[in-house]
A and B are shown apart, each in its own frame.
Chain A
Amino acid sequence: MVEADQSDNVEFKWGKKRGVGGTKKDVRFYESFSYDGVEYTLYDSVYLYEESEPEPYIGKLIKIWENPDKSKRVKILWFFRSCEIQNYLGSEDVHENELFLASGEGLGLANVNPLEAIAGKCNVICTSKDERNSPPSDEEVAMAEFVFFRTFDVGQQKISDKIDEKIAGIEAKFMLNKVGGLKLDGIMKNNAITKKDIEEDNKNIGASDKCVVHSRLNDISPSEQITLRIKDGVDGDKGKFSVKLDKKVEIKLKRPLQGPEDGERPSKMAKLDVSKGKEEGNSYATISMNKCENEENAMEMLGKQKDKLKSPNDITETSLKPFTRKSLEKAKLSNAKFPNPSKDVHDEVDNVDYEKKEVTRRPNVENKSKWFTQLPWEERMEDAHKKGMLVLLRNLDPSYTSTEVEDIVWHGLKLYCTAKMIQRTAITSPHRGEALLIFKSKEAAEKAVKKLNEGCLMLPNGRSLVGCIGDPYFLGDQRIFHGHLVFSCARHPLNREKEAVSTSHCSQSNTIEYEMAMDWCLHQKKWDRAWQSLYKQQGEELRKHRGNFKSK
């Protein structure tokens, strides 16, 4: 079942095959593959890199297949970073490195993407208290790059800490932590569903024939199910929905009939119910196969469908973010995911919240993913400087780290930036740390400076932050360095320049250079004292001034 890939330079191997689909059985489904030396299995969490986005997207592999034309596709169920859904978060506390699993139905739930868009594996641990979830150990949590225990319903745009029975047609079990020895094929049969769930589901769906379909599907192994699903998709693609849908029903009817009471559970199949007619099938099939010619139509249909199916259990398989031909060619992640709410943040910035807040890890760890290299800081800084996106932040505690500064900016200004603390040297002030920040746009940088100028953002120990547009001194061109002389006396022992330049040495006390060096030592000591007294005086001034604070 292993096929080597020839079209790509990056090492690629298919893993275990799950089944075939399509009219000619030419779409192959897989359970695993290895790409660029990394082993990926179904339901793994992965990073997906989008060129225009500084942070990679994170999602779960919920389907892996190869089209007849050898193009490799993965279906990704998205995780949201809290910044992406910030407008819907309200006053919710967001934990450090927390993600939200997409659920419900609607735009942004899941997408089909080229397999090559995967940038790497991401370690996401589910910390849900849900009984279906095997609780992770503390160590696992500590090692995890991200955790999630809540979901974000893309249709209702609500955060929930319940994990639905099915998300995008996939058992919740697969979304949770993998238990050792849990086999993919085995899981479908052991699910514990309460009667209540079912009743609720039935009520919500309301179509009796659907229930029958479900019950019959109960014994079908996942691979069969998937096969069926894809068959619909592929056929649908060719415009034969009604026929194929009928066929599907036939298949189902061949299964032994069971009543809805025998622990039947909602299945994605429900959405494909014949009663919904051709058009809906059309939208489903079209979307899932990623050829959204009538994408608008499809969205509309799904919108209607959403109205009909209100239960959170009732999840349609919708990869509503269709991807464009352009992105296909580029083999890049096509993903608008969700109307990006973080953009709106800029507009809300003016509503200053005067409450005291604790700075936690900002909900995004962009540097954590090591799968794509960032430009060196100097280059990024120079670029940012040209574009006016560079800000110098003053009066930080010198012991803050760059990441802590990023967190502070995130919490204080609600803006994303990349920060770099200016490293201390012998002559930097011990009282105030400085950091350079690269914002994402000139507007953001200006906004940050304006806010810091107009308001007073206080950090512990009575530090009020100062921001100004950064104007750093750039390295690169040749710098003047005073104090190294060329000794060019041709015939004298002083002629040691070659030696002196190529090596380092301690000077003897009977030479002229020793005397000169002593001058430099004197100069250094003198200036050391000068700096010391300057900073002592400044420290004194600061201390006195901080004494004026009433609340501290």
Chain B
Amino acid sequence: MASIAEKEYDAFQERVRRTIYIDNLSPQVNESVLKKGLGQYVTVKDVRFIPNYSEPKNTARCALVEVETSEQAQEIIKDVIDAYPFMILGIPRPVRARPAEEEMFDDRPAKPGRRIELQWLHPNDPDFQVAWKLKRLVKKHAAEASFMMKQQLEAEEKLAKQQEEMLKVNKEKLMLIDGVMDDKSAFRLASYYNVNDAEI
């Protein structure tokens, strides 16, 4: 029995190594988009999105992408996604990739041979107070993380707004330049200042 479980687990670990984790994905990205996007570089075997149950809705999505070999997985992270800002279905926010971890998989098999023991602590047990405090600590940590998440989302929103503003300004600038070219005022100015037309 153990050997079957171990084999299964080995196969699973192999699958983990072949898989990359991608996040900062837009909610509009679906399996075929991801396959197409990464298909330029590698053969995508499988795409699975990691559902998000514990964070606010507007967090970016993440997905597990299984490719053919673990080497390919490493290459695509190193040579493509990390090397350039790689964008999928929208700019300019790039996606981010890292090697997948076992806990990211929903269908992971249990670690073979692991024993789990559990125990209710008696209220008189000296450890009871410790455990009690630990529970509070855990809750505090969860609250901290969720606060941080909120902060990050706010920062993202701010950055996006800032960029939108920047883009607008940039667009206005370009429009202005185009306008100057269009109504020939650039040429008039060139002749006025004795600048060669070709330099404009």
How would residues 405 to 439 of chain A score, 1 for a CB under 8 Å from any chain B CB and 0 otherwise?
00110011000000011111111110111101000
Contacts of A505 in B (CB 8 A): 86-87
Contacts of A142 in B (CB 8 A): 1, 4
By beta carbon, the residue of chain B nearest A405 is B116
Contact status A357-B119, CB under 8 Å: yes
Q: Is the interface of B mostly helix, strand, loop or mixed?
A: mixed
Bound Cα distance from A1 to B162, whole angstroms:
80
Chain B, 26-83, CB within 8 A of any chain A CB: 26-28, 33, 36-38, 40, 50-58, 60, 62, 80, 83
Bound Cα distance from A421 to B160, whole angstroms:
32
Pick out which of these stretches binds chain B: A81-89, A148-156, A291-299, A348-356.
A348-356
By beta carbon, the residue of chain B nearest A141 is B1
Contact status A507-B92, CB under 8 Å: yes
Q: Which of B80, B111, B138 contacts A506 (CB 8 A)?
A: B80
Chain A, 328-364, CB within 8 A of any chain B CB: 352-359
Contact status B57-A487, CB under 8 Å: no
Closest Cβ–Cβ distance, residue B161 to chain A (whole Å): 8
Contact status A401-B110, CB under 8 Å: yes
**With A401-B110, A488-B171, A520-B92 as contacts: A458 and B145 at CB distance below 8 Å:** no
Q: Which of A408, A513, A542 contacts B137 (CB 8 A)?
A: A542
Chain B, 132-172, CB within 8 A of any chain A CB: 132-135, 137-139, 141-142, 144-145, 148-149, 152-153, 155-157, 159-160, 163-164, 166-167, 170-171
Q: Which of A381, A403, A424 contacts B104 (CB 8 A)?
A: A424
How would residues 77 to 115 of chain B score, 1 for a CB under 8 Å from any chain A CB and 0 otherwise?
000100111111111111010100111111011110011
Closest Cβ–Cβ distance, residue A392 to chain B (whole Å): 8
Contact status B94-A481, CB under 8 Å: no
Contact status A480-B148, CB under 8 Å: no
Asked if A326 is an interface residue, CB under 8 A from chain B, the answer is: no
Asked if A404 is an interface residue, CB under 8 A from chain B, the answer is: yes
Asked if A132 is an interface residue, CB under 8 A from chain B, the answer is: no
Chain A, 453-481, CB within 8 A of any chain B CB: 455-460, 462-466, 472-475, 477-481
Contact status B119-A356, CB under 8 Å: yes
Contact status B103-A433, CB under 8 Å: yes
Bound Cα distance from A257 to B105, whole angstroms:
69
Q: Which of B26, B109, B120, B141 contacts A401 (CB 8 A)?
A: B109
Pick out which of these stretches binds chain B: A159-167, A266-274, A311-319, A523-531.
A523-531
Contacts of B55 in A (CB 8 A): 427, 473
How would residues 171 to 195 of chain B score, 1 for a CB under 8 Å from any chain A CB and 0 otherwise?
1001100100000000000000000
Contact status B89-A475, CB under 8 Å: no
**With A481-B26, A506-B85 as contacts: A523 and B155 at CB distance below 8 Å:** yes
Contact status A492-B119, CB under 8 Å: no
Contact status A422-B54, CB under 8 Å: yes
Contact status B117-A358, CB under 8 Å: yes
**With A423-B51, A482-B156 as contacts: A501 and B89 at CB distance below 8 Å:** yes
Contacts of A356 in B (CB 8 A): 117-119
Interface size range on B against A: 35 or more
Interface size range on A against B: 35 or more
Asked if A514 is an interface residue, CB under 8 A from chain B, the answer is: yes
Contacts of A546 in B (CB 8 A): 134
Bound Cα distance from A515 to B163, whole angstroms:
10
Asked if A204 is an interface residue, CB under 8 A from chain B, the answer is: no
Asked if A300 is an interface residue, CB under 8 A from chain B, the answer is: no
Contact status A520-B167, CB under 8 Å: no
Contacts of A7 in B (CB 8 A): none
Contacts of B110 in A (CB 8 A): 401, 403-404
Q: Is the interface of A mostly helix, strand, loop or mixed?
A: mixed
Q: Which of B33, B38, B50, B57 contacts A425 (CB 8 A)?
A: B50
Bound Cα distance from A159 to B21, whole angstroms:
50
Bound Cα distance from A380 to B108, whole angstroms:
21
Contact status A411-B36, CB under 8 Å: no
Contacts of A24 in B (CB 8 A): none
By beta carbon, the residue of chain A nearest B101 is A424
Asked if A182 is an interface residue, CB under 8 A from chain B, the answer is: no
Contact status A500-B51, CB under 8 Å: no
By beta carbon, the residue of chain B nearest A470 is B53
**With A483-B93, A542-B134 as contacts: A524 and B148 at CB distance below 8 Å:** no
Contact status B98-A426, CB under 8 Å: yes
Contacts of B119 in A (CB 8 A): 354-357, 457-458
By beta carbon, the residue of chain B nearest A431 is B141
Bound Cα distance from A358 to B114, whole angstroms:
11
How would residues 510 to 549 of chain A score, 1 for a CB under 8 Å from any chain B CB and 0 otherwise?
0011111111110110010011001000100110011011
Bound Cα distance from A378 to B106, whole angstroms:
14
Contact status B120-A517, CB under 8 Å: no
Contact status B27-A516, CB under 8 Å: no
Asked if B24 is an interface residue, CB under 8 A from chain A, the answer is: yes
Closest Cβ–Cβ distance, residue B179 to chain A (whole Å): 11
**With A394-B139, A506-B85 as contacts: A480 and B58 at CB distance below 8 Å:** yes
Asked if A485 is an interface residue, CB under 8 A from chain B, the answer is: yes
Contact status B90-A500, CB under 8 Å: yes
By beta carbon, the residue of chain B nearest A509 is B84
Contacts of B57 in A (CB 8 A): 473-475, 477, 479-480
**Residue of B23, B103, B128 most packed against chain A (CB within 10 A):** B103
Contacts of B4 in A (CB 8 A): 142
Contact status B116-A524, CB under 8 Å: no
Contacts of A374 in B (CB 8 A): none
Contacts of A357 in B (CB 8 A): 117-119
Contact status A484-B50, CB under 8 Å: no
By beta carbon, the residue of chain B nearest A356 is B119
Asked if B200 is an interface residue, CB under 8 A from chain A, the answer is: no
Contacts of B86 in A (CB 8 A): 504-506
Asked if B131 is an interface residue, CB under 8 A from chain A, the answer is: yes
Contact status A489-B174, CB under 8 Å: yes
**Residue of B26, B54, B126 most packed against chain A (CB within 10 A):** B54
Asked if A491 is an interface residue, CB under 8 A from chain B, the answer is: yes
Contact status A517-B58, CB under 8 Å: no
Q: List 21 A-B contacts (CB under 8 A).
A: A353-B120, A354-B122, A356-B118, A356-B119, A357-B119, A420-B106, A427-B152, A459-B117, A464-B134, A466-B139, A473-B56, A474-B57, A483-B24, A501-B90, A504-B38, A504-B40, A504-B87, A514-B92, A515-B92, A516-B166, A531-B148
Known A-B contacts: A357-B117, A359-B115, A517-B93. Give 19 more (CB < 8 A).
A356-B118, A358-B117, A404-B110, A424-B104, A432-B142, A455-B123, A458-B119, A459-B116, A466-B138, A479-B57, A481-B60, A485-B163, A497-B91, A501-B90, A505-B87, A506-B87, A523-B155, A549-B131, A550-B126
Closest 10 A-B residue pairs measured CB to CB? A483-B93, A504-B37, A484-B90, A517-B85, A516-B92, A506-B84, A482-B160, A456-B131, A424-B103, A504-B88
